Amino acid sequence: MHPALSIILFTTLSGAGFGLCFWVGLLGSGLHAYQVALTGFASIGLASAGLLCSVFHLRRPSRAWRAFSQWRSSWLSREALIAPASLAMLAAFVAATALEHSAAATLGWIAAPVALLAVFATSMIYTQLKAVAAWHTMRTPLLFLAYAISSGFYFMLAMLGLAKLTMPQHGGGPVVPDGLLVFLATTLAPAAFLVQYLWWRRRDAVGFGKSSAESATGLGNPGSVRMLEPPHTGANYLTSEMGYVVARRHAAKLRWISAIVGAAVPAILCLWAGISIAGQPALSWLAAIAHLLGAGIARWLFFAEARHTVMLYYQ
Amino acid sequence: MNIDCQTKSPHVSDEVRKTTCYMCACRCGIDVHVRDGRVRYIQGNRDHPVNRGVLCAKGSAGMLHLESPARLQSPLMRTGPRGAGEFREVSWDEALDTACAWLGEIRSKDPRKLAFYTGRDQSQSLTAWWAQQFGTPNYASHGGFCSVNMAAAGIYSIGGSFWEFAQPDWERTRLLLLFGVAEDHDSNPIKLGLSALRRRGARIVSINPVRTGYSAIADTWLGVTPGADGLLVLSLVRELLRSGRVDSDFLRRHTNAGWLVVDGEGESAGLFARDEEGNPLVVDGSSGKLANAAAPGAVPLLAASVDMPDGSRASTVFSRMAAKYLDNRYAPETVAPRTGVSASAIRGLAAELARTAFDETIELPVPWTDVHGNTHPTTVGRPVAIHAMRGISAHGNGFQTCRSLHLLQMLLGAVDCPGGTRFKAPYPKPVELHPRPSGFSGCDTPLAGPPLGYPLGPDDLLVDAHGNPQRLDKAYSWEAPMAGHGMLHAAIPNAAAGDPYPVDVMFLYMANMAWNSSMNTPAAIEALTARGEDGAYRIPKLIVADAFNSETTSYADLVLPDTTYLERHDCISLLDRPIGEPDLIADAVRQPVVELTRNVRPFQDVLIEIGGRLKLPGFVTSGDKPRWRDYAHYMVTREVVPGIGPLAGWRGRNGDRTGRGEPNPQQLEKYVEAGCFWSQEIPSEARFFKNLNRDYQEWAVNLGLLPRPAPFQLQIYSEPLRRFQLAAEGFGERQPPDELRQRIREKFDPFPIWYDAAGDAAGDYPLHAITQRPMAMYHSWGSHNPWLRQLHADNSLYVPGPVCDAAQLTDGCWAWLESPIARIKVRVKRMEAVNGQTVWSWNAVAKRPRAWGLSQGAPESRKSFLLNHVISDLLPEQPDGCRWSNSDPITGQAAWFDLRVSIRRADDTEECAYPQFTLQGLPPGLEDGPPELRYGEEWT
Amino acid sequence: MTSLPDKTDSKLGLVIDLDICVGCQACVVNCKAWNTGGYGSALSDSQPYGDNPEGAWLNRVHGYEVDSGSGAATIVHFPKSCLHCDDAPCVTVCPTGASIKRSEDGIVLVDESKCMGCGLCAWACPYGAREMDPSAGVMKKCTLCVDRIYNENLPAVDREPACVRTCPTNARHFGDLSDPDSSVSKLVAERDGQDLMPEQSTRPVNKYLMPRERQGIDQLAEPDFSLAELADPTPSGVLAWIDRALDRL
């Protein structure tokens, strides 16, 4: 599939944003209002930036509002509804925290799973596509959720570091035991890539799923089918959109790069910083950005390596 | 849910105007939906006999012709060097004054200095007559390049050819053999017919090196090696003869199989034995005596050898034929290696032919009466049909190969019978009824007859006292005695070489002769731009008439811009190529369906005006005033002979006559009312065996198709060929040049023969290279159409899998394709369903950069190729040092399918075809095409 | 709403006969010609005369080489347009309500005024039946010529899809596949019409008739046609032989 930048940015940034949202909602009640505000706005900003990127993928963005209408059948429509709802809830949580409202904690605990639901909805846009066998697996939501949770976590660390830097008086880490924090910081990124590895394993085996040039044309009984003449000599929308091919060698290299940048670098940085990670803005930002970059590369591959059944007609 | 996104009955068009398509030579009826003065949609005309409602890709895309940025906008005079495309716009007055000044001068001094060549012209009865009245023999159209072998072999053998002159009896055929059928001629009728055959379960056998298109749906595909079809057919002939599975009754009655041929040597050897009146003689089976072959009641013996009254000995055509073809050289085992078809397949096909012809015989309850007055209570048919086209024709042995096909048909009795290949009126006609070619008569003098015709022997050649060619293209000389259609491909090289003489004006219409309508493109370009010692072009004046900025246009000194087919009147006349069916006769017209918005004029109007300005006899009234306002006026009022004109329908003052009748001033209106065509059913008793069918002969004479009843026997043995052979043996006054004697002796065999025109398979060039026209394209003028070019914007060379493996060629790689004269760089596509010694590609895709309104970097220029670059105008040198035209030695048909090549992987990685040509300039008034097309947006 | 109807009153669709398609592209171009001025925006082309001409088409014909392992490879021309699936994944994924499957006739349509050009429906279709219009930025697809088949401005005989009307080999048939007595249903029954990619569970309405087996001619040589019955003629004895041969007739 064509790895459109808008879609890669959309899924990675919004994934990180909703992941952050999740963490803020989950742990926010133990944080200072300033920290909540900073992390909360960051999550809303990241997710909104991602959602905004998705609009660039539309040929007629002025009609994007219609995407709220088909929640009964369409995952894209569901995502369009859940995403702003999730952000609104987080905003309410941030506001409640700032106002020291009693419902703040409850709001946070509701906002956290809704954020994951938004990520799940995003992932289902791809998971539901039977025509792309690599995507059509429950490993795909798992993958999206794993990246969301991990990148959200690193951004939380980074934002807390920023909070400490800007208002040291409100310092203090999240209400998680230090050991757990270090454990999470050193394992979440590798864990996300472990899911990614499992996803890749399946992807490499699944090909076009049950479909083949023979089933696509009905002509394989008996025999093999090979395209002699394409319908048109030039490219077309289908071949540009769904015929993207990345060389196997190239892809393998990119997988390594994504894993090193996205898993090894953050893990090592966090390990190195140890329990002081939350208080090291530079290191935590580096870890967050490295992880996001690695996830971005992996997301590029998610599209670029996926093969659509329509290409069976062009083989 | 019930959602209508718009009304159920949206407005379609303001008006449907019917006319005739010209996106190829098929001539289908079309319904043009016109909305707001533009074409909304084109569909096939359901009532039309040619296409019965269907329409191909080309016809469907016709409306984009009216959007083409390549449409010429006004007359042009060249300002830069030839080929640069630099012009200035001139008025029509200036353009016509110039043309008439050039033409008028040579007409009074030497009309031969005009060479007038037309391409896929469908107004040949006008253009040929214009040339005749001008007085130049140097006229021809596209046939010599395309399919004259087919046309001539048919006319000399059975009175008409396949092509558009006959078609399989789609409703009754049980077995159809398709030989080298290209998909452009009669394209929709063939598709309709194949579909009908499929539905009926009739068997289709395709004999073709490539299994695409029609071959793909054939029950059986025989991947014959190019140029070997004739050998395959003669092997079938042998098998049928060997097993006695031939239609002896048909052979006796309908062919010259029983005619006696004089044996021995001497001036009449090999000619028919004739009585004192000149009638061919047979041995009458009942009396055992000699009899006039045409006499009623004579039933000739097929196998006879007799002493003649003059002491000579004569034997029948059949006896000679059997002796000739029973030879082991035609045995399936012998021919299998060269044909690429296994001996068992050849035997199987022979068996299938015989079984179908004789065990599935059709007997229609239709009585018919022969010209002797015998009424046959039923019509018996052999349901085997053959159709063939350019794959047979464009070889140096194409004429004799076509003759072989006709021989096979005759042996099976499958000519013009139910289930066989059936003629379309006005065919069949004996060759004697066609004109002989007319040569130069003098200055300011018309030719005595049409410039093209069919010679019956050396006396009809157009050669001077020394045997030198009289025509520029050397048609009807000893080099191409039975040229039939002239030799378009020889005109430019000969004119540039001044061989046999220089010309002053070359006038080209609708022929892309500087590009793919040449044998060798670089040579044609060189010839058009060659200069003499004085610095002047060797072809001094070049007039080109075309609707588009073609490659050839850029070489013109004067451009006369034509309209598209949707903007003019035209006629599809019975005087040209018939559009009817075996059961009905038809002709058609075109009418303008949209308004003309450019300063261009229909070429036929212009030609008529030039004729008037030059005061060509016939083109002016007795008062020297132009006789016709325009072509529409000509179509209605021109009479070839009194009562017969271009259009056969609604003749007579009141429009109540057909075929013969006075001109009817309302005739064109009648055609338009009727959907732009006229048709009439042929009476049921006149539909079969027309060569000997009394009712047909009478009907045809009444309608003006025949000047008089002209029954004839089909010619297994061709006496005109023998006359040329006799000359080569030294008999007769007109003698061929010595260097041609052997060739004529060998090739002008009065029986069909096969010889290898493509050369020996061994050697440096082991592969055959051929082209096919894609079904969605017809010549360059359609292939620049934005919709059609998306289908084929570049071409690859299809290479058999084993050849790919041996040469390490992979899909998409570039390779050098080399012939003895040149090499080209092509992209490779692997293919299995192709003859193992054959590479091929789609033709007419490649274009010169920026010609035809396309961009400089268009794939047509960057990634496409023509095989023409590696085809030679001339054959390799003979032992005596002579080099002959790369043409059939009998008809002069361009032999571009005899190409031999080698292939190897290209080392360089540049993704670009070779050769690349220089950029063609844009004439004034033309602009680059728009960046996007949203055709019809205003109606959505 | 982009939910699929539980059932449709009829199932209009095409039956495509691969046995007779010669790959002439008539349906492809005629479809474009009709539809560019018809339903929805024009079917536009970018760089129509340029280096990379490319446009939106609703129907395309592929050419395949099929190797059955025995005998020569065959070539099959394969037209493909929207199959108007019963379980059309392209419809349910649509977030805006632009993609619909009509309950009255089962036609899958795009209401272009609602399409935001996200392209997800094209991804959802396993067959490649949807193409984004390069100029209008909305999704185009075969409408089964919905503006022809009910159009009272056209003669009744012409109320069929343009591709069907124009096909020179009659390889395309149009009708109601829910009616077992319709000509298309009978064709499907007779020729065992196939679904493309049944494993995708889209339940296409359009059916494909597979090419009948191609044969080598030598397989059919008639058993009683024995050439060995005749002696090989010698040139000297040819006349006697001919008489004998002719007597057999």
Indicate the pLDDT class of residue B71, thresholds 50, 70 and 90. very high
Return the residue matching tokens 């079938």: B236
Indicate the pLDDT class of residue A163, thresholds 50, 70 and 90. confident
Chain-chain contact of A228 with B859 (C-beta, under 8 angstroms): no
What's chain A's length in residues?
315
> Using the 8-state DSSP alphabet, how is residue B58 labeled?
H
Residue of A nearest to B858 (CA): A234
Name the percent of chain B lying above pLDDT 90: 87
Whether the predicted pLDDT of B5 surpasses 60: no
Whether the predicted pLDDT of B4 surpasses 60: no
Disruptive mutation site among C31, C66, C121 for chain A (greatest number of A CBs within 10 Å): C66
Q: Within an 8 Å CB–CB cutoff, is residue C213 touching chain A?
A: no
Name the percent of chain B lying above pLDDT 70: 99
Average pLDDT value over all residues in chain B = 94
How far does the CA of residue A255 sit from the closest CA of chain B (Å)? 29
| CATH number, span B3-17+19-67 | 2.20.25.90
Nearest to C147 among B10, B214, B351 (CB): B10
Chain-chain contact of C54 with A57 (C-beta, under 8 angstroms): no
Partner chains of A (3+ C-beta pairs under 8 Å)? B, C
User: Which tokens go with B338?
Assistant: 């060269």
How far does the CA of residue A152 sit from the closest CA of chain B (Å)? 43
B698-712 average pLDDT score: 96
B776-798 average pLDDT score: 90
Nearest to B195 among C20, C41, C103 (CB): C20
The span from the CA of B320 to the CA of B65, in Å, is 56
User: Which domain covers residue C243, as residue numbers?
Assistant: 221-249
Average pLDDT value over all residues in chain C = 90
The partner residues of C74 in beta bridges, in order of sequence, read: C66
Same structural domain, C237 and C131 = no
Q: How far is CA C179 from the centre of its chain?
A: 20
Indicate the pLDDT class of residue C240, thresholds 50, 70 and 90. low
Touching A: C residues 60-119, CB under 8 Å: 60-69, 75-76, 78, 80, 89, 91-98, 114-119
Max distance between CA atoms of chain C, in angstroms, equals 89
CB pairs under 8 A between A and B: 17
Same structural domain, C91 and C136 = yes
Give the model's pLDDT for residue B933: 97
Specify the 3-state DSSP secondary structure of B414.
Answer: coil
Chain-chain contact of C95 with A66 (C-beta, under 8 angstroms): yes
Whether the predicted pLDDT of A153 surpasses 70: yes
How far does the CA of residue A309 sit from the closest CA of chain C (Å)? 5
Q: Which residues of chain B make contact with A231, given a CB cutoff of 8 A?
A: 791
Give the model's pLDDT for residue B119: 84
The span from the CA of B566 to the CA of B569, in Å, is 9
Q: Which residues of chain C make contact with A210, given a CB cutoff of 8 A?
A: 199
Q: Within an 8 Å CB–CB cutoff, is residue C154 touching chain B?
A: yes
Amino acid letter, residue B316 = T
Indicate the pLDDT class of residue C230, thresholds 50, 70 and 90. very low
Half-sphere exposure of A242 (CA within 13 A, CB side): 31
Chain-chain contact of A59 with C132 (C-beta, under 8 angstroms): yes
Q: How far is CA C155 from CA B9, C38, C158, C160, C174, in A?
A: 12, 17, 5, 10, 16
How far does the CA of residue A13 sit from the closest CA of chain B (Å)? 35
The span from the CA of B76 to the CA of B915, in Å, is 29
Q: Within an 8 Å CB–CB cutoff, is residue B846 touching chain A?
A: no
Contact assessment for residue B665 and residue B677, using Cβ atoms and an 8 Å cutoff: no
Query: Which tens digits make up the pLDDT trace of B179-225?
Result: 988 676 788 999 999 999 999 999 999 999 999 999 999 999 999 99
Same structural domain, C120 and C228 = no
Q: What is the interface pTM, i.e. ipTM, of the complex?
A: 0.96
Nearest to B319 among C53, C55, C238 (CB): C238
Chain-chain contact of C200 with A211 (C-beta, under 8 angstroms): yes
> Using the 8-state DSSP alphabet, how is residue B682 labeled?
P
The span from the CA of A283 to the CA of A277, in Å, is 7
Q: Which residues of chain B make contact with C229, given a CB cutoff of 8 A?
A: 243
Partner chains of C (3+ C-beta pairs under 8 Å)? A, B
Whether the predicted pLDDT of A174 surpasses 70: no
Whether the predicted pLDDT of A16 surpasses 90: yes
The span from the CA of A56 to the CA of B31, in Å, is 44
Query: Which tens digits make up the pLDDT trace of B547-584?
Result: 999 999 999 999 999 999 999 999 999 998 889 999 99
Q: Within an 8 Å CB–CB cutoff, is residue B829 touching chain A?
A: yes
Same structural domain, C177 and C229 = no
Chain-chain contact of A233 with B831 (C-beta, under 8 angstroms): no
Same structural domain, C237 and C135 = no
Q: Within an 8 Å CB–CB cutoff, is residue C189 touching chain B?
A: no
The span from the CA of C126 to the CA of C87, in Å, is 12
The span from the CA of B586 to the CA of B425, in Å, is 9
Amino acid letter, residue B378 = T
Domain assignment present for C71: yes
| CATH number, span A5-314 | 1.20.1630.10
B227-254 average pLDDT score: 93
Half-sphere exposure of B665 (CA within 13 A, CB side): 0
Same structural domain, C120 and C43 = yes
Torsion over CA: B861, B865, B870, B873 (sign): negative
B504-530 average pLDDT score: 93
Indicate the pLDDT class of residue C3, thresholds 50, 70 and 90. confident
Out of B109-123, B633-647, B794-808, which region has the weakest mean confidence (pLDDT)? Answer: B109-123
Q: Which residues of chain B make contact with C56, given a CB cutoff of 8 A?
A: none
Q: Within an 8 Å CB–CB cutoff, is residue A60 touching chain C?
A: yes
Q: Which residues of chain A make contact with C18, given a CB cutoff of 8 A?
A: 218-219
Q: Within an 8 Å CB–CB cutoff, is residue C179 touching chain B?
A: no
Half-sphere exposure of B612 (CA within 13 A, CB side): 17
User: How would CATH label the architecture of B767-905?
Assistant: Beta Barrel (2.40)
* Domain(s) of CATH 2.20.25.90: residues in chain B: 3-17+19-67
Q: Within an 8 Å CB–CB cutoff, is residue A310 touching chain C?
A: yes
Residue of C nearest to B342 (CA): C218
Sheet order of strands, C45-46 included:
B932-933, C45-46, C54-55
Q: Which residues of chain B make contact with A228, given a CB cutoff of 8 A?
A: 829, 831, 833
Q: Within an 8 Å CB–CB cutoff, is residue C120 touching chain B?
A: no
Chain-chain contact of B1 with C153 (C-beta, under 8 angstroms): no
Q: Which of B836, B841, B838, B804 is nearest to B826 (CA)?
A: B841
Whether the predicted pLDDT of B757 surpasses 70: yes
Indicate the pLDDT class of residue A275, thresholds 50, 70 and 90. low
Chain-chain contact of A70 with C2 (C-beta, under 8 angstroms): yes
Query: Which tens digits make up the pLDDT trace of B615-665?
Result: 999 999 999 999 999 999 999 999 999 999 999 999 999 999 999 999 999
> Which residues are within 8 A (CB) of A230 and not within 5 positions of it... i.e. 6 or more apart?
A314, C62, C63
* Domain(s) of CATH 3.40.228.10: residues in chain B: 161-368+378-427
Give the model's pLDDT for residue B303: 87
How far does the CA of residue C104 sit from the closest CA of chain B (Å)? 7
Query: Which tens digits make up the pLDDT trace of B825-848?
Result: 999 999 999 999 999 999 889 999
Q: What is the CATH number of the domain that holds C69?
A: 3.30.70.20
Q: Which residues of chain B make contact with C53, given a CB cutoff of 8 A?
A: 786, 789-790, 793
What's chain C's length in residues?
249
Q: Which residues of chain A make contact with B790, given a CB cutoff of 8 A?
A: 232-234
Query: Which tens digits make up the pLDDT trace of B118-128?
Result: 987 788 999 99
Q: Which fold has domain B161-368+378-427?
A: Dimethylsulfoxide Reductase; domain 2 (3.40.228)
Q: Which of A113, A85, A109, A90 is nearest to A36 (CA)?
A: A90
Same structural domain, C176 and C75 = yes
Residue of A nearest to B798 (CA): A228
Q: Which fold has domain B99-150+432-539?
A: Rossmann fold (3.40.50)
SS3 letters for chain C?
CCCCCCCCCCCEEEEEECCCCCCCCHHHHHHHHHHHCCCCCCCCEECCCCCCCEECCCEEEEEEEEECCCCCCEEEEEEEECCCCCCCHHHHCCCCCCEEECCCCCCEEECHHHCCCCCHHHHHCCCCCEEECCCCCCEEECCCCHHHHCCCCCCHHHCCCHHHHHCCCCCEEEEECCCCCCHHHHHHHHHCCECCCHHHCCCCCCEEECCCCCCCHHHHCCCCCCHHHCCCCCCCCHHHHHHHHHHCC
Return the residue matching tokens 């009479």: B639
The span from the CA of B826 to the CA of B558, in Å, is 35
Disruptive mutation site among A73, A229, A239, A315 for chain B (greatest number of B CBs within 10 Å): A229
> Using the 8-state DSSP alphabet, how is residue A132 labeled?
B
A204-228 average pLDDT score: 92
B93-98 average pLDDT score: 98
Give the model's pLDDT for residue B783: 83
Give the model's pLDDT for residue B2: 38
Q: Which of C180, C185, C161 is nearest to C172 (CA)?
A: C161
User: Which tokens go with B291?
Assistant: 């009899």
Give the model's pLDDT for residue B445: 95
Torsion over CA: A255, A258, A261, A266 (sign): negative
Return the residue matching tokens 């919709």: B787
Query: Which tens digits make up the pLDDT trace of B929-939?
Result: 999 999 999 99
Query: How many structural domains compose chain C?
Result: 2
Where does B191-309 show beta strands of DSSP type E?
A: 203-207, 220-222, 260-262, 281-283, 290-292, 305-307
Chain-chain contact of C26 with B57 (C-beta, under 8 angstroms): yes
The span from the CA of B341 to the CA of C34, in Å, is 45
Give the model's pLDDT for residue C1: 57
Backbone angles phi, psi at B58, to 5 degrees: -65, -50
Residue of B nearest to A232 (CA): B791
Give the model's pLDDT for residue C233: 45
* Domain(s) of CATH 3.40.50: residues in chain B: 99-150+432-539
Q: Which residues of chain A make contact with B793, given a CB cutoff of 8 A?
A: 232-234
Residue of B nearest to A228 (CA): B831
Specify the 3-state DSSP secondary structure of B385.
Answer: strand
Query: Which tens digits make up the pLDDT trace of C142-192?
Result: 999 999 999 999 999 999 999 999 999 999 999 999 999 999 999 999 999
Nearest to C116 among A58, A231, A314 (CB): A58
Is the bond preceding B500 in cis, omega lying within 30 degrees of 0? yes
Domain assignment present for C93: yes
